[in-house]
Amino acid sequence: MNESILTFIEQNAQWAALIIFIIAFMESVAIVGLLIPGWLLLVGVGTLVGADVLDFYSVVIAAYLGAVIGEYLSFLVGYHYHEKVLRWRFVAKHQKIIDKSHEFFAKHGISGVFLGRFFGPTRAVVPLLAGISEMPQKTFFWVNIISGIIWAPVYLTPGILVGAAVTLDDDARNFLLFVIGMITIFSIVAWNYSQSLVKQIRENKTEVVTAMKAGLAWAIVLTIVIVLINSNYWPLVGQIVDVVISRF
């Protein structure tokens, strides 16, 4: 299905902005976002930008508007209908995600709303929970507006890099995509272990194993980067960056 949508966008660029708006909107609406892997489609749209099929700014603006409106709608639903929302059968079915998101929001407050849109499981429900918790509408409005400005380019960038890599020959492209993938995976692992370590330090429950895992993961990331810098493929990274910059 994702490929069909991306193919349609590629062949009908005049409809791209509207479709991207709808994708970002649906992915941002409470609960619906749990069912629709909109972020995958947005990454795919990014590849079309990187391949110079779509205009960067029109795509970013469409994604931004869709996400901001979708999240604000979710907030308003939670704000005005919080008692009914908590009785929804679908909410009860996904109670674990709701509880996790509620814990995330309760712990981080306003920053939780800001950061929540960057994390898959919490993204679809944090605005709803902010509304249920009766966060001031003006506060949520501005947090939503500002975080959306950062969110749109961040979600599109991985796809743009992949699209830009299409300009390279097959071997170079496959190697660089593999390396970038490894760096991304180990960075996420290292970040998660680091977060666990920070939490343990705050609770005075520091575990040596967690510290070692975090250190090892970051060491692997650093090693991969150093190897890439000293390889014959490093100049190609500059080519990809130049292509990406030219899309702006």
CB environment 73-101: b (16+ within 10 A), e (fewer): bbbebbbeeeeebeeeeebeebeebbeeb
Range with the poorest average pLDDT among 45-59, 97-111, 167-181: 97-111
- Indicate the average pLDDT of the chain: 79
pLDDT at 59: 92
pLDDT at 69: 94
* Number of CB atoms found within 10 A of residue 139's CB: 13
* Mean pLDDT across 114-136: 76
Alpha carbon distance 85, 98 (integer Å):
12
Q: pLDDT tier at 116 (50, 70, 90 boundaries)?
A: confident
pLDDT at 145: 92
Alpha carbon distance 143, 111 (integer Å):
8
* Mean pLDDT across 113-138: 77
- By percentage, how much of the chain surpasses pLDDT 70? 81
The more confidently predicted of residues 110 and 151 is 151
Which tens digits make up the pLDDT trace of 211-230? 788 888 888 888 888 888 88
Alpha carbon distance 23, 105 (integer Å):
25
Alpha carbon distance 202, 243 (integer Å):
44
pLDDT at 121: 59
Which tens digits make up the pLDDT trace of 180-203? 788 888 888 888 788 777 777 777
Tell whether the model's pLDDT for residue 233 goes beyond 80: no
